[in-house]
Structure 1
Amino acid sequence: MKSLLKYISISISIILLASCEKIIEFNGEITEPQVVMNSFITPDSVIKAHISESKFFLSSGYTFKDVENADVSVLVNHIFKEKMMYTANGIYRSNFKPGVGDTIRLEVKIPSKNDVSSETIIEPKSNMLTLDTAKVFTGKYPLTHYNNITQKEDTIGYNSIYEYHFKLKFKDDEATKNFYRLTVRTKSSLPGGQVSNEYFFTFDDLVSGNNSNSTVGPPTSLNSNQFNVFSDEMFNGKEYPLTFYVTNNTTELLPEYEYMNIYYKNIQKEIYVDLQTISKSYYLYLKSRDASSSSNGVFSEPIQIHNNIVGGIGILGSYTSNVFEKMDL
């Protein structure tokens, strides 16, 4: 009897809980899609801009609608230059490369949409002076290979770990407020002519704001300065030695296993250091994206991504690269 009463009690509870579920309809105003323009301009390339429409936050699907019928004008130093041509996937392209010091303005007109516009200045190259390096051995671990005869793992050599510490000295321009981004590319030449590029390095300089020796990587990594940007606030108008390092492993086979070198041959690697000068809008955009991705979800205040598009949303920024000569690891 007690079991029956217990069963009835549980059944009633389930029914009552199920009856409490209620679907609440959204009665607010559904906003119309806004024009979204994103473009990062550099003097090393023609201008490209991606134009799309925003989505209402309750809309289904993950893709955004590309705009294919936009009229995109480019103005250089406030003088009309040309109309950008549509290519594909919402991308519009110019026929010229901007110059350092140019003020680039993009104006977009789309039927039945608000006109949008924005402008940015092409910054001069960073004034890099010297790049010093120091190779530091940090340890090694055994390299093993399975022996089919003894059916054991044989130690055939060692993988040595090295840190390549860089000190990049550059001179900041006192006359202007400057913003920088550091990128370090490791180019690996693989067997068969294949090439791979990696952007992992450790940015441990004081201006980075990193409080640990975590690896700074691409935008997917969680770090306090994942885009490696900084301003000249701490060294305005002065020379500054920027520090960072790259980790690399090398293989050393024991003499009796040198014949296996074809399988464990060290990959040729080259380092390219690029100290970019970036526009203030690009700097604020990357900083806000960084803060947004590093927030603690529901336990933190929402962070608005920096937007400098008048009449719409998105970002128009610029960067100017200055790549130091390659270095072999």
Structure 2
Amino acid sequence: MKKVGLLSALVLLFFLNISCEKEIDLKAQAPSGQLYANSILNPDSVFRVFLSYSTLITAPLDDIHDRLDKATQALVVIKDSNGTLIDTLEFITGVYSGINSSFLVFESIEGLRPLANETYELHVEEMAIKNSKTIFATARLPAFFNPIQANKRFPIREITGKDQTFGIELSWEDPNPMEDNFFIIEATYRNTSLSSGSPELIKSELYSVHSENDNEEIGPVNGKFFYIFINDGRLTNSVSLDSIHTKISVLTHTFDQLTLLGTPFNSEILIHVHHVSKDLYLYYLDVEKYRINSSGTDIFAQPISVRGNIQGGLGILGAEIIQEAVLVYQ
């Protein structure tokens, strides 16, 4: 077991509004020209903020790029819970990838990183935009927790629902028994033989069968999800009060298909447990609900608004601590 040293796939999947599974057009629900600020604070990464705008589908790309070019002069600062300035983030790069998917990256050039159990404020002001609103958000980093334990390093196959899966029991100590803690679980296959030509990382859907979680609020009972959500304040069947226990089932079909096609594939299963702030937990509950209800399986499904905590703008300032378990695929 080891800690993740960089922002996980959880951050990149939706924060940049670019998804290999399905692009979620969150900005279509907002007035055109609305400023977005997105960031996840993680002790394994420097302070980093992504800025973008909601724009009309008919907006000329040149207009979008002009607005982003002006925003490179934005004042982006991080303060502590007392309002004391910690760092002024600087513009690093811009990604111009089309309607509603272009963004700017600001980060700490001093290499400063957030600390566990500390609260931070984000302030953004567009200096070159007349009458632009100043946006504000606050987030508290969760506590560190001990590495997660997986019951078997070499998981065996089993049948879950109609799928062949790897059944994996997980446990970890409650990092703060005096407060509610929020966890998000995800699973990714990592290709350890890049000569095969297959992708290095492929995300897997999960089952969470006969285990308490909040997934029943966003999808079918015993359904398949990309994330499993656990609020330990709502658990009633824990083996002990100071630890969390759950079982997940990771689908095997992606790599079985590659094997059938004659593609050599050596891989590991990466299980990530994210201890997250409440705002971030609720944000990704909405994101997963949106994905499930907008998948095309229900022609009457309506888009679900995704909540954020940015004041004066749109987006999310979240915080997380991550632990990782590495298991060998067989």
Tell whether the structures are fold-level matches, with TM greater than 0.5.
yes
Cα shift at 1:266: 4.8
User: Which of 1 and 2 has greater Rg?
Assistant: 1
Superposed CA offset, 1:77-101 (max 9, x none) = 4321121010122110113121111
Please give the residue correspondences for 1:240-319 in structure 2 after superposition, counting only pairs within 5 Å. Answer: 240-248=244-252, 264=262, 266-295=264-293, 299=300, 303-319=304-320
Give me the CA root mean square deviation: 3.4
**Which structure shows the higher strand fraction?**
1
The answer to whether 1:93 aligns with 2:91 is no
- Partner residue, 1:119: 138
Please give the residue correspondences for 1:1-329 in structure 2 after superposition, counting only pairs within 5 Å. Answer: 33-55=33-55, 59-60=58-59, 65-66=67-68, 67-78=71-82, 79-89=84-94, 90-94=104-108, 95-111=111-127, 112=130, 113-128=132-147, 130-133=149-152, 134-136=155-157, 163-172=165-174, 173-190=176-193, 192=195, 196-205=200-209, 206=211, 207=213, 208-209=215-216, 211=220, 214-216=223-225, 226-232=226-232, 233-235=234-236, 237-248=241-252, 264=262, 266-295=264-293, 299=300, 303-329=304-330
> 3-state DSSP class of the match of 1:276?
strand
User: Is the contact made by 1:309 and 1:315 (CA closer than 8 Å) also made in structure 2?
Assistant: yes
Cα shift at 1:58: 7.4
CA 1:192–1:200 in structure 2 vs 1: closer, same or farther (change >3 Å)? same
How many angstroms apart in 1 are the aligned matches of 2:74 and 2:301? 38
- The structure, 1 or 2, with the larger RCO (C-alpha pairs under 8 Å, 6+ apart) is 2
> 3-state DSSP class of the match of 2:283?
helix
Aligned-partner residue type, residue 49 of structure 2: A
What fraction of aligned residue pairs are identical, expressed as a percent? 16
> 3-state DSSP class of the match of 1:73?
strand
Aligned-partner residue type, residue 308 of structure 1: N
TM-score of the superposed pair, with normalisation by structure 1: 0.67
Superposed CA offset, 1:126-151 (max 9, x none) = 4455311351366xxxxxxxxxxxxx
TM-score of the superposed pair, with normalisation by structure 2: 0.67
> 3-state DSSP class of the match of 1:43?
coil
Aligned-partner residue type, residue 173 of structure 2: K
Cα shift at 1:214: 4.8
User: Is the contact made by 1:123 and 1:319 (CA closer than 8 Å) also made in structure 2?
Assistant: yes
CA 1:266–1:58 in structure 2 vs 1: closer, same or farther (change >3 Å)? closer
Cα shift at 1:328: 4.7
User: Is the contact made by 2:181 and 2:275 (CA closer than 8 Å) also made in structure 1?
Assistant: yes
How many angstroms apart in 2 are the aligned matches of 1:58 and 1:71? 28
How many angstroms apart in 2 are the aligned matches of 1:128 and 1:244? 17
User: Is the contact made by 2:42 and 2:321 (CA closer than 8 Å) also made in structure 1?
Assistant: yes
Name the count of aligned residue pairs.
Answer: 258
Which residues of structure 2 form unaligned runs of 5+?
Answer: 1-29, 95-103
Cα shift at 1:169: 1.5
CA 1:69–1:306 in structure 2 vs 1: closer, same or farther (change >3 Å)? same
- Partner residue, 2:27: none
> 3-state DSSP class of the match of 2:93?
coil
User: Is the contact made by 1:182 and 1:229 (CA closer than 8 Å) also made in structure 2?
Assistant: yes
User: Is the contact made by 1:201 and 1:244 (CA closer than 8 Å) also made in structure 2?
Assistant: no
How many angstroms apart in 2 are the aligned matches of 1:162 and 1:40? 34
